[in-house]
Structure 1
Amino acid sequence: MKAAILKQLGPLEPFHLVDLPTRSPGAGEVSIKVRATSINVVDTKIRAGMGDIAPAGDIVLGCDVAGIIEAVGPGVTRFAIGDEVYGCAGGVKGRDGAYREQMITDARLLAKKPTSCTFEQAAALPLVSITAWEALVDRAQVKPGETVLVHGGTGGVGHIGVQLAKALGAIVHTTVSSDEKAQLAKKLGADVTINYRARQVVQYAAEETNGRGYDVVFDTVGSDNIAASLEALAVNGRCVSIVSLHTSPDLSALHMKNARLDLVLMLIPMLTGEGLERHGFILENVARLVDAGRIQPLLDDRVYSLDELILAHDHLASGAAIGKIAVRVS
């Protein structure tokens, strides 16, 4: 089978298209004929040198996968040969990635893909959907009628966050960088769009909520945005961030508002081997929302092939992509 490998890590390291041997799935595993994958920030970070969570040997990246079950290992009962599935199922330490024609993975990480989606659309969903679900459902526990601020409402995680918060019954505000993206965010369900280049977080939080603040802030940006997001919270508010904290924000705003800050890293089950079935459960629920028209994956206009991975990574790094970048594998 064809696979795109990295021989070592580094921001300028090329992908090499090689032939790798196939293998049969073991207990609890399935073999997937990979039809598509998508590019995530974590893929680019591992390639750039985040070796502590990189796969070993010839490095095959790619967390997200959509494809067709070719074989099932002993003990697998949720899937059969021919099932169309999707998942965030590899590309990190101890797990082969999806930049390949055949992928062996733990069946618990998968769900049947939304029937209304192409393989490219389905491959764009897993990592960002699980991340948004863990942030808004598991941690923030968004309730109907609450006001939720989603930073970066047309980005990979953000565009799912906007739609999921809306599906949960929230009033959704989101930040964007242009009028074009504001229109797109509105189509995704945002009630209010905010150009973050024109106003600071604390300013628009006061103006758009009549001084009350947000019940929930979903931070997909990090850095200095964290401290401002905490200031934007209402009393008893919840802020959830998916970005590593490289500085120590002033947490006094949390104390004075009896508010909370949660951090989410959805890769933990894959890295630890614990709670893998939670990913499959979330993706089953996401598939139902997609097929009901409540969530739609937003794909960048350009779809790449397996031998164009460098271009796909560069496109994500440029910041010019809208939504997710898909890669067609077979």
Structure 2
Amino acid sequence: MSPIQTMTAAVVEARDGPFVLQTLARPTPGPGQVLVRVEASGLNPLDLKIRAEQAAHARNPLPAVLGMDVAGEVEALAADVRGFATGDRVYGLIGGVGGLQGSQAQYVAVDADLLARRPTSLDARGAAALPLAAITAWEGLIDRAQIQRGESVLVQGGAGGVGHLAVQIALAKGAKVYATALGEEDQAYLHGLGAIAIDGARPVEDYVAEHTGGAGFEVVYDTGGGALLDASFRAVKRFGHVVSCLGWGAHGLAPLSFKQATYSGVFTLHPLLSGEGRGHFGEILTQVAALAESGALRPRLYDGRFGLDALDEAYQALASGRAHGKVVVDIAHP
């Protein structure tokens, strides 16, 4: 056990307030927990809403240490933890919501079920970019839609955080993948992944006619909600399936019902908030790591570099909408 008893953490004390570096007591792992020496913390759009107290489904009482995604090394572990050892390099979706400490600190005590060994093909930054987005993509495509080899899959918002991983997972499973995006840069990125890129500004009926002869796609994954989910109902094939990770609004179901298609939603945070089913996170991330090891999956990273002392700037980069790729914060240690 390291003699270090304190750690540096970035704390947000008030709604949309600045991050303040504080010296806090280093956590001690409780039953079933692992103490992770944090190397990198991935940011997500949801972090912006949590900081601003604008996410009713993802509250975190302030003051708080935020950050849901982590990559780091096992520093210590409770006596009842199996499957991990000191020095293991791990990653996971671990906190920053529901009163759980997040990853924007030098150390965090984590439920071991939430972790997996990170892929050796990725450094800490690459691994920290994956957990929330990859789990969300996996739950939608594999757990809900149960995609099959050869199926036509449309990913709405395919160049985004969840979308670009959903595209790669679907391709790895042998699907024929289409993906919408706005702008030539993102469409070129999707083409480079191996998907058929579609200009997201086109009317849905136009691209359904061009790519499916008007029949529709067998599986549609909506990552944007709102009008994009409505478009997904019109894009799905008869007896097909629509899944959404942002299905929070009120929507007309007639286009779905007339096609006798089905719908399911993804609420990735439920295991963190309820404590129920946390082991599935570790299971998914183990399979995601295998895809990364095989070369079938790589995160899209923003090239800006930030430390804990520049966390406000990191959040600004994310909020600007100009960061193509995941914003990741490097966590320094003495």
Same fold by TM-score, threshold 0.5 exceeded? Answer: yes
Q: Within the alignment, does 1:187 sit opposite 2:187 as a pair?
A: no
1:294 is aligned to 296
- Classify 1:23/1:249 alpha carbon distance in 2 versus 1 (closer, same or farther; 3 Å): closer
**What TM-score, normalized by structure 1, do the two folds share?**
0.96
2:28 is aligned to 24
1:253 is aligned to 255
Map 1:139-218 to 2 at 5 A: 139-190=144-195, 192-197=196-201, 199-218=202-221
Q: Provide, for residues 138-179 of structure 1, a one-character-per-residue CA deviation record: whole Å limited to 9, x for no partner.
A: 001111111111112221111101000101111101111122
Task: Please point out which of 271, 278, 281 is paired with 1:279.
Answer: 281
What is the root-mean-square deviation of aligned Cα atoms in Å? 1.2
Cα distance, 1:189 vs structure 2: 2.2
| Structure 2, unpaired ranges of 5+ | 1-6
Q: In the alignment, residue 21 of structure 1 is paired with which amino acid?
A: A
User: Could you tell me whether the CA contact under 8 Å between 2:39 and 2:124 is conserved in 1?
Assistant: yes
1:109 is aligned to 114
Task: Please point out which of 55, 64, 68 is paired with 2:60.
Answer: 55
Q: In the alignment, residue 70 of structure 1 is paired with which amino acid?
A: E
Quick one: distance in 2 between partners of 1:244 and 1:170?
A: 24
Quick one: distance in 1 between partners of 2:96 and 2:285?
A: 18
User: Could you tell me whether the CA contact under 8 Å between 1:33 and 1:68 is conserved in 2?
Assistant: yes
User: Could you tell me whether the CA contact under 8 Å between 2:181 and 2:198 is conserved in 1?
Assistant: yes
User: Could you tell me whether the CA contact under 8 Å between 1:159 and 1:323 is conserved in 2?
Assistant: no
Cα distance, 1:55 vs structure 2: 3.3
1:119 is aligned to 124
Task: Please point out which of 203, 206, 229 is paired with 1:226.
Answer: 229
Task: Count the aligned residue pairs.
Answer: 325
2:242 is aligned to 239
User: Could you tell me whether the CA contact under 8 Å between 1:37 and 1:66 is conserved in 2?
Assistant: yes
Cα distance, 1:202 vs structure 2: 2.5
Quick one: distance in 2 between partners of 1:146 and 1:187?
A: 20
2:38 is aligned to 34
Cα distance, 1:51 vs structure 2: 6.5
1:312 is aligned to 314
Q: Provide, for residues 103-154 of structure 1, a one-character-per-residue CA deviation record: whole Å limited to 9, x for no partner.
A: 1110000000001100000000000000000000000111111111111222
Cα distance, 1:58 vs structure 2: 2.6
**What TM-score, normalized by structure 2, do the two folds share?**
0.95
Cα distance, 1:210 vs structure 2: 1.0
Q: In the alignment, residue 98 of structure 1 is paired with which amino acid?
A: S
Cα distance, 1:307 vs structure 2: 1.6
Q: In the alignment, residue 14 of structure 2 is paired with which amino acid?
A: Q
2:100 is aligned to 95
Return structure 1 stretches of 4+ with deviation > 3 angstroms.
50-57
Q: Provide, for residues 236-284 of structure 1, a one-character-per-residue CA deviation record: whole Å limited to 9, x for no partner.
A: 11111111423x2110111111111111111100100000000000000
Cα distance, 1:64 vs structure 2: 0.1
Q: Secondary structure at the match of 1:20?
A: strand
User: Could you tell me whether the CA contact under 8 Å between 1:236 and 1:260 is conserved in 2?
Assistant: yes
Cα distance, 1:63 vs structure 2: 0.2
Q: What is the aligned-residue identity percentage?
A: 44
Quick one: distance in 2 between partners of 1:80 and 1:245?
A: 40
2:12 is aligned to 6
Quick one: distance in 2 between partners of 1:255 and 1:267?
A: 28
